[in-house]
Each structure stands twice: as C-alpha cells, then as structure tokens.
C-alpha cells in the first residue's frame, strides 16, 4: 500500500504501473499486435489508433459500446474520431446499407442516392451551392486546395500552426516530412493581427486559407468568431479562396460552425459521420469554383475516384442526415455535450486542479494544464504523459477514448452513460489528485 501511494506521487512510475496493469489485462490484444508487427510497420495501418504499450484489438461494437478480444466491454468515447456519431448499430443506417447491398455492390454508374445526399448536405451547410464526393477528409482537402490553386492561378496555401487536415496535411510542431508538397504559409490560430499581416504580405501568391473553425486533432480549440470574420474579410479583399475544414465540426450545429457564426467560406470540406459511419469525404462551395468540375465543359477539371459515389456510403449517409441526425437532434445532442463539458470542468475546478475540458458541443479534449488555451502554442507546456496516464486509467475503468484525450459523444449514449463517465472522471481526479497537484 505504501509503495502504491509513493509511486502514485511520481508521474513516470504511475504511468509504468498503468502500462503494466494494461499489459496484464490484455494478453490477446498483445498477441495479435505482436503478430501484426511482422507484416505491418509497427503493426499498424492508421497512426492515430496506435498507443503504447500496444493498442487494443476491438472485436465488435453495438450502440455506443465496444468489446475487445480479451472480452472487456467499454463505453466508446472515441466515437471513431467523430465519424461514429450514429454509434455502431443504428437500425436506420443498417437498413439503408442492407437495402443498398441487396441491389449489388460497385455498380459503376450514377446511382439513385448520390444526388439525394448532395441535396441534403447542400441544404444544410450555407456555403455549399455544389458538392462533390470522395473517400476521405484528406482527399476532400486535397481537392479543395488544388481547386483553389487552379481557380486563382496562385501557389501558396495558408494553414494554422497545429492544424490538421489529413494524413498529408499535418501541421503540429514542425509538420511532417510526408506532407503534400505545397508551399505552406503557417500562421497562429486566433491571432488576428499577425495573420492579417501574413495574408497581406503573401496576398499576390496566396491561393487559399484553410482553417478548422474548431481545431479537432489540435486539442478541441475553438476559433474566435472575430478571427474567422477577419479571415473572411481579408480573403475576400485579396481574392484568396477561404476554405473551412468542417470534416469534424459540421456535426456541431445543424449547419456546422459556418452556420453558428454566420460566416460563409468559399469552399467547405466534409467527412466523417456524413457517410453514416462508412468511408466518406466531400468538398463543395461556390458554384463559380465548383462548376469547373462539370464534365460537360471543354475546360473541365477532372475529378476521378473509383468509390466517390459508393452506394453503401451514399445510402447510409442519406438515411442518417434525413432520418436520424435531423437539425433538431443536432441541437439537442450538442447541448448535452455542452452540459457534460461544463460538468467535467466543474469537477476539476471544485478540487482546484489544473484539468480542463475544451471544445464545443459533442466534442471535447481534456488537458492537464493551467491557463487559457486559445491556440496550439498554449499546449506547448503540456506534458504528454498526462494524456497517456489518463487514457490508460480510463480504459481500466471501462471507457475507450482517444489517446490524446479527445472525447466524442455518439447518439446512442444515454444520460446514464454520461453520468457514468462523469463519475469515472471524478474518481480519476480523486485518485490522481496529489500527482496532478504536484506535477502539472
């Protein structure tokens, strides 16, 4: 007992204990992971799903619950990084997929559902006069950016330091050596003055500014309305294409964060839940830009993609938006998220602990850190090991979430699920109180 308390006063040994416990509890996941490393680099084919000491192998899901191959049950607060909005077994989504399956896979033609899904998303998101579909958020951003470059005849792209737009658009720290080889100008999120200066400095070469209206992967940091408004005015003035990456944020209100702020970008990119939980990407916006993809034009830009109108995705997506995630549901669902976030912050405040939950509505991130968080720079002081410890401790309590501390709600979650989660966080704060107070 004495050793346990002593070890709990040191972050490194608390983490070592948590890893040891995790390893003991998950022999089947470990065995599968070890096997996978022989044929996949690091036993992994999607970096963000990896965590140490080894990731769990998930066997199945139902509603908002998951089971791993060692037989543990979790409430799923990872929510497939926001794509899992509908949960794992929504009957309306399943029926739509089954109906589509019955009529055949990969038909290789225009289908009956793609225009329906297009109408649904165009009706929802104010900037979308026209939309095209693809297979991922990354691909959507790639097409939006090359369209902006072709439209303006300019080269450079402004991004936010710490932003994320897909596997080849990673702007944390020094970025990534495998980023798409564009000429990027990096600016500081929510820095109105500095960003305006940079836009003016590069205006003649600047094709696009791309921004997440709330950074998702960067830590659920919301953009100030004034910052987005400045981007809208400055890009309009200088003929730069403003792109809102709403791959994650489009679910936060019935009309995304562009609707919440009343700010209409030139192009918007979509992904995640819009495909009903299946592979999806979408990009769209002003007809003047998008209509260059019209194949009837002699000067049309080509937009290929074998699975762009995949009938399973189109069907699941259309059923989801029309019958499940209606505007009313989007409002009440995100209000529940706001309430949960306030409750979690109050738990930390009551204990005087430097733990905060940032975000909007149904998406939030936990940070063990003092002080305001308005841009990824503010997270530089954060010790990454807190996220590791929080993650393993929550897994130990039956809650599956993202290693970086991102928490995403899904529609099947009941009040009892949210109460249970809040209780688990409260217990964690109490268990780790001395450690947090001493170390953060």
- Confirm or reject binding of residue 138 to ligand PLP (CB under 6 A): yes
**Of residues 55, 84, 87, 137, which one binds ligand PLP by CB under 6 A?**
137
- Confirm or reject binding of residue 432 to ligand PLP (CB under 6 A): no
Is 399 labeled as catalytic in the residue annotation? no
- Confirm or reject binding of residue 164 to ligand PLP (CB under 6 A): yes
User: What single string gives the DSSP state of each residue in 70-119?
Assistant: TS-EEEE-SGGGGTTTT-S--HHHHHHHHHHHHT-S---S--SSHHHHHH
Strand ranges, E, within 323-408: 355-360, 363-368, 399-400, 406-408
Among the listed residues 30, 260, 272, 273, the single catalytic one is: 272
**Of residues 76, 80, 114, 245, which one binds ligand PLP by CB under 6 A?**
245
Looking at residue 408, the DSSP 8-state letter turns out to be E
Q: Contact region for ligand PLP (CB under 6 A) — 244-252, 298-306, 307-315, 332-340?
A: 244-252
| Lateral strand order in the sheet of 130-134 | 130-134, 281-285, 267-271, 241-245, 206-211, 156-160, 183-187
- Confirm or reject binding of residue 251 to ligand PLP (CB under 6 A): no
- Residue closer to ligand PLP (CB basis): 18 or 220: 220
**What is the closest distance, in whole angstroms, from the C-beta atom of residue 245 to ligand PLP in the complex?**
5
d(CA 159, CA 193): 15
- Confirm or reject binding of residue 216 to ligand PLP (CB under 6 A): yes
Is 33 labeled as catalytic in the residue annotation? no
Buried b (16+ CB within 10 A) or exposed e, 267-276: bbbbbbbbbb
Token pair belonging to 431 = 């268990």
Where do we find the tokens 């400045």? 230
- Confirm or reject binding of residue 271 to ligand PLP (CB under 6 A): yes
**What is the closest distance, in whole angstroms, from the C-beta atom of residue 279 to ligand PLP in the complex?**
8
- Confirm or reject binding of residue 165 to ligand PLP (CB under 6 A): yes
Token pair belonging to 407 = 């928490």
Q: Contact region for ligand PLP (CB under 6 A) — 2-10, 93-101, 132-140, 301-309?
A: 132-140
- Confirm or reject binding of residue 81 to ligand PLP (CB under 6 A): yes
338, 361 contact by CB (below 8 A): yes
**Of residues 222, 247, 413, 425, which one binds ligand PLP by CB under 6 A?**
247
Closest residue to ligand PLP, judged by C-beta, is 137
Helix (H) or strand (E) holding 184: strand 183-187
- Confirm or reject binding of residue 217 to ligand PLP (CB under 6 A): yes
Q: Contact region for ligand PLP (CB under 6 A) — 136-144, 228-236, 252-260, 366-374?
A: 136-144
Among the listed residues 164, 189, 273, 325, the single catalytic one is: 164
Q: Measuring CA to CA, which residue among 49, 29, 70, 51 is closest to residue 390?
A: 51
Strand ranges, E, within 212-296: 214-215, 221-222, 241-245, 267-271, 281-285
- Confirm or reject binding of residue 319 to ligand PLP (CB under 6 A): no
Is 245 labeled as catalytic in the residue annotation? yes
**What is the closest distance, in whole angstroms, from the C-beta atom of residue 51 to ligand PLP in the complex?**
16
Q: Measuring CA to CA, which residue among 413, 388, 260 is closest to residue 331?
A: 260
**Residues near ligand PLP (CB under 6 A):** 81, 136-138, 141, 164-166, 212, 216-217, 245, 247-248, 271, 281
Please identify every residue annotated as catalytic. 164, 245, 272
């Amino acid at each position: 007992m004495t050793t346990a308390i002593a070890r709990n006063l040191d972050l490194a040994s608390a983490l070592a204990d948590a890893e040891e416990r995790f390893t003991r509890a998950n022999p089947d996941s470990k065995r599968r992971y070890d096997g996978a490393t022989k044929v996949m680099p690091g036993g992994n084919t999607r970096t963000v799903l990896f965590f140490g000491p080894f990731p769990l192998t998930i066997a199945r899901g139902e509603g908002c619950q998951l089971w791993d191959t060692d037989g543990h049950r979790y409430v799923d607060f990872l929510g497939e990084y926001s794509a899992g909005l509908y949960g794992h077994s929504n009957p309306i989504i399943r029926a739509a997929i089954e109906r589509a399956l019955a009529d055949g896979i990969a038909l290789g033609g225009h289908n009956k559902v793609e225009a329906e899904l297009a109408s649904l998303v165009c009706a929802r998101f104010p900037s979308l006069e026209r939309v095209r579909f693809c297979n991922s958020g990354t691909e959507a951003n790639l097409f939006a950016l090359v369209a902006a470059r072709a439209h303006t005849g300019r080269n450079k792209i402004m991004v936010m330091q710490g932003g994320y737009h897909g596997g080849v658009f990673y702007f944390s720290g020094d970025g990534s050596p495998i980023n798409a080889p564009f000429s990027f100008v990096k600016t500081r999120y929510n820095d109105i003055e500095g960003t305006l200066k940079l836009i003016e400095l590069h205006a003649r070469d600047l094709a696009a500014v791309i921004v997440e209206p709330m950074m998702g992967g960067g830590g659920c940091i919301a953009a100030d309305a004034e910052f987005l408004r400045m981007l809208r005015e400055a890009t309009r003035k200088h003929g730069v294409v403003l792109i809102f990456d709403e791959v994650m944020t489009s679910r936060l209100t019935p009309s995304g964060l562009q609707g919440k702020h009343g700010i209409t970008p030139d192009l918007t990119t979509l992904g995640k839940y819009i495909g009903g939980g299946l592979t999806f990407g979408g990009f769209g916006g002003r007809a003047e830009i998008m209509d260059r993809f019209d194949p009837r034009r002699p000067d049309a830009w080509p937009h290929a993609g074998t699975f762009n109108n995949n009938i399973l995705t189109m069907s699941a997506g259309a059923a989801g938006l029309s019958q499940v995630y209606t505007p009313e549901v989007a409002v009440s669902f995100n209000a529940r998220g706001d309430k949960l976030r306030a409750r979690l912050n109050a738990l930390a405040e009551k204990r005087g602990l430097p733990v905060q939950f940032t975000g909007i509505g149904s998406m939030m991130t936990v940070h063990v850190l003092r002080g305001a968080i308005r841009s990824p720079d503010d997270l530089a002081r954060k010790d990454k090991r807190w996220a590791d410890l929080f993650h393993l401790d929550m897994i130990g309590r039956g809650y599956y979430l993202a290693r970086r501390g991102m928490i995403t709600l899904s529609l099947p979650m009941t009040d009892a699920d949210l109460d249970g989660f809040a209780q688990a966080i409260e217990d964690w704060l109490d268990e780790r109180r001395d450690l947090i107070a001493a170390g953060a």
